[in-house]
Amino acid sequence: MTGWVKIAGLGPGNEALVTPEVTAALAEATDIVGYIPYVARVAERPGLTLHPSDNRVEIDRSQHALEMASEGKRVVVVSSGDPGVFAMASAVYEAVDNGPSAWRNLDIQVLPGITAMLAAAARVGAPLGHDFCTINLSDNLKPWEVIENRLRLAAQADFAMAFYNPRAKSRPGKFERTLEILREECEPERLIIFARAVSRADEAVRISTLADATPEMADMQTMVIVGSSLTRTIDRDGDPIVYTPRFITKAEG
Amino acid sequence: MTGWVKIAGLGPGNEALVTPEVTAALAEATDIVGYIPYVARVAERPGLTLHPSDNRVEIDRSQHALEMASEGKRVVVVSSGDPGVFAMASAVYEAVDNGPSAWRNLDIQVLPGITAMLAAAARVGAPLGHDFCTINLSDNLKPWEVIENRLRLAAQADFAMAFYNPRAKSRPGKFERTLEILREECEPERLIIFARAVSRADEAVRISTLADATPEMADMQTMVIVGSSLTRTIDRDGDPIVYTPRFITKAEG
């Protein structure tokens, strides 16, 4: 049997957002590796071994997947969202890069998924419909100064911004600091969206402005999207629509 | 009958990358609206009317969809990739914003899809595994100076970059200018990926550097991804893997 590793994106949580490609990989797998809540989304069946692991052991988990594939197993590494966006794909390749040379020629594939920022954007309208940037606000893996510099340059470029991992108990002041930087660089009316658990039963979406936003509006499960200077709302019954026009210099109707 | 509009992402081309949510919407639709090659991906059936239209008529197409939904039709507006990323979602909301007020309370939903940059990234490894930005290089809808400014600030922020619509016959010199700006801001060894028709039969992916890249490597069907300063390759038999580590200050193995 020839082993392989498929690093698969399960999307934001709703099964209707899992691609058929990922579903087929899960059906062919002998072993599933991943963070506990993502592995819990895979149904048990004869011939399939589940290997749930804790958060923050991404390299151990990756090495385990690569070792099993070397032995001929068909291993799916499950990620939420898209594996290439602040998820397991880079971790697996870091393990390959620093591992035995035989791992380089293993059959390793990334199967894309619906990443959280695009599910969140879809829910409120089209806030990422023009140029944007995507920043992981966690400073576990990079200096905070890098994040602060990127926030300021992104605001100066007038990108819309999508933030992953905005707030953790271990760094409570950092999201407050993020809001301060954005208020220094942008106007108070700038739109900011807090989208928690999009597509899941406990989904909660809040549309605010930099003037009104508070750090408590985000937790580690929240996707935060900040509009560009052109992002606007359309009022209607219920929550407004939020979108960024495709045009910079003119409106078209 | 209560009409609706669903703006649906068909992904990059392969049917295995279409979400079940989108497949279900297509099955319930009475009318499909979109650019000719995307509408051609939807199978004809009794009770379904296909309305293919030419490129660059996004607002006309959006108004048509909204009018039909007002009359009780169930309309799917098809986009390639994700509708919220340089596709039909912003166009539909521009039409709503500038249209009759009754359109605001129509049932309009965006159904996310696999956008081209994430399919392209998955194919080569994980080049967007750290902070990145996404820029539409077309200056049809915004001044070229805005694009140039964004390219420079993105390079200074050390974002990886994903470019949509890099090159068109109508603006042949602009992608050459893009490469010049990047060469001014980044080192010659900086990785650049040209990914054409990812997931389709005619897929062609090329991994190069800024020093070696030429404008002819891209056309309008090509997704271009430029790495950050930390993006690296892993050599192996065949094409190398390209990935961006999750870490900035240290390697972990």
Q: What is residue B77's three-state secondary structure? A: strand
Q: What does the buried/exposed string (b/e) look like for B30-64 if buried means 16 or more CB atoms within 10 Å of the residue's CB?
A: bbbbbbeebbebbeeeeebebebeeeeebbebbbb
- Which candidate in B114, B115, B165, B248 is best for mutational testing of the A interface (most A CBs within 10 A)? B114
Q: Scanning every residue of chain A, which has its alpha carbon at the shortest distance from the alpha carbon of B14?
A: A21
Predicted confidence at residue A248, as pLDDT, reads 87
B85 contacts on A by Cβ (under 8 Å)? 118, 128-129
Residue B247 has its nearest CB partner, among A128, A142, A149, at A142
- Euclidean distance between CA atoms B132 and B85, whole angstroms: 14
Arithmetic mean of pLDDT, B61-79: 98
A150 contacts on B by Cβ (under 8 Å)? 131, 157-159
DSSP state of A12: S
Q: Scanning every residue of chain A, which has its alpha carbon at the shortest distance from the alpha carbon of B241?
A: A93
- Euclidean distance between CA atoms A148 and A144, whole angstroms: 6
Return the minimum-mean-pLDDT range out of A50-54, A222-226, B165-169. B165-169
Arithmetic mean of pLDDT, B223-232: 98
- Taking CB atoms and an 8 Å limit, are B122 and A105 in contact across chains? no
Per-residue pLDDT at A253 exceeds 50: no
Q: What is residue B227's three-state secondary structure? A: coil
- Which candidate in B23, B133, B205, B225 is best for mutational testing of the A interface (most A CBs within 10 A)? B133
**Prediction pTM value:** 0.96
Taking the CA of residue B161 as centre, how many other CA atoms within 13 Å lie in the half-sphere pointing to its CB? 29
**A126-160: pLDDT as tens digits:** 999 999 999 999 998 899 999 999 999 999 999 99
- Taking CB atoms and an 8 Å limit, are A112 and B252 in contact across chains? no
Q: Scanning every residue of chain B, which has its alpha carbon at the shortest distance from the alpha carbon of A156?
A: B153
- Which candidate in A106, A133, A205 is best for mutational testing of the B interface (most B CBs within 10 A)? A133
Distance between B212 CA and the closest CA of chain A, angstroms: 24
Using DSSP bridges, classify how beta strands B132-136 and B160-164 pair: parallel, antiparallel or unpaired: parallel
Q: Taking all residues of chain A, what is their mean pLDDT, rounded to a whole number?
A: 95
Contacts with A203 (C-beta within 8 Å, 6 or more apart), sequence order: A123, A195, A196, A197
Q: Scanning every residue of chain A, which has its alpha carbon at the shortest distance from the alpha carbon of B85?
A: A129
Arithmetic mean of pLDDT, A9-32: 98
Strand runs (DSSP E) across A154-211, as ranges? Answer: 160-164, 191-196, 204-209
Q: Scanning every residue of chain B, which has its alpha carbon at the shortest distance from the alpha carbon of A158?
A: B150
Predicted confidence at residue A210, as pLDDT, reads 98
Predicted confidence at residue A228, as pLDDT, reads 98
Contacts with A107 (C-beta within 8 Å, 6 or more apart), sequence order: A2, A3, A4, A5, A69
Has the ipTM of the complex gone over 0.90?
yes
Q: What is residue B200's three-state secondary structure? A: coil
- Burial environment of residue A229 by CB neighbours within 10 A (0 to 12, 13 to 18, 19 or more): middle
- Euclidean distance between CA atoms A208 and A106, whole angstroms: 47
**B106-131: pLDDT as tens digits:** 999 999 999 999 999 999 999 999 99
Q: What pairs with residue B62 in β-bridges?
A: none
Predicted confidence at residue A174, as pLDDT, reads 92
- Taking CB atoms and an 8 Å limit, are A19 and B15 in contact across chains? no
**What is the token pair recorded at A120?**
């969140």
Q: Taking all residues of chain B, what is their mean pLDDT, rounded to a whole number?
A: 95
- CB distance B153 to B124 below 8 Å: no
Predicted confidence at residue A82, as pLDDT, reads 98
Task: Give the number of other Cβ atoms within 10 Å of residue B71's Cβ.
Answer: 10
- CB distance A135 to A86 below 8 Å: no
Return the minimum-mean-pLDDT range out of A169-173, B11-15, B123-127, B208-212. A169-173
**B139-158: pLDDT as tens digits:** 988 999 999 999 999 999 99
Contacts with B251 (C-beta within 8 Å, 6 or more apart), sequence order: A94, A98, B245
- Taking CB atoms and an 8 Å limit, are B118 and A84 in contact across chains? yes
Residue A105 has its nearest CB partner, among B104, B156, B236, at B236
- Taking CB atoms and an 8 Å limit, are B118 and A149 in contact across chains? no
Where on the phi/psi map is residue B242: left (φ > 0), alpha (ψ -120 to 50), or beta?
beta
Contacts with B212 (C-beta within 8 Å, 6 or more apart), sequence order: none
Arithmetic mean of pLDDT, B51-76: 96
